[in-house]
Amino acid sequence: MAFSLNKIMLIGNLGQDAETKFTTSNKAVTSFSIATTNSRKDKDGNWVNDTTWHKCISWELSDYLKPLLVKGAKFYVEGRLSIRDYVDKEGVKKYITEVVAYQLIPLDKAEHSSQSSETPTRTGQFYDKPVEETDDNDLPFN
């Protein structure tokens, strides 16, 4: 019996506002990038931050989340790693590595009015549905 696991869990900040496009079969795919930072000491004992950018996509994203996916927003992203290829206009084969996100949880505190004495948080709101497989020819971008 073969067993395998492909799971990615990230907590980081979006590098730009998310962008939603539609495939030729009218399926919505939202793309965004998220930065994660690892702190380490260099050879001189100074702290250095290494930032990694992760390209993410999410299929048929909840309308609740779309306006929250803005530059700087902190999110928990869970999904699977996907590597796909395509041939560009010059005939060169290119590879894309991305996280296919199936669970997104905003981690920022919600904006609140000055009339409220409490600071509400966005918890328990997430996108969680099975990832639909799609034909690579149906993708709106490369």
Blockwise average pLDDT, block size 10, the chain, 142 residues: 93 96 93 95 94 96 90 97 95 96 89 38 41 50 48
Tokens at 118, concatenated? 């409490």
Radius of gyration of the chain (CA): 18
Q: For residues 124, 108, 53 and 37, what is the CA-based torsion angle, rounded to 10 degrees?
A: -110
Q: Phi then psi for 126, rounded to 5 degrees?
A: -155, 165
pTM for the full predicted model: 0.71
10, 55, 94, 95 from 83: Cα distances, Å: 17, 11, 10, 7
Tokens at 106, concatenated? 């905003």
| CATH architecture assigned to 8-138 | Beta Barrel (2.40)
Any idea where the domains of the chain sit in the sequence?
8-138
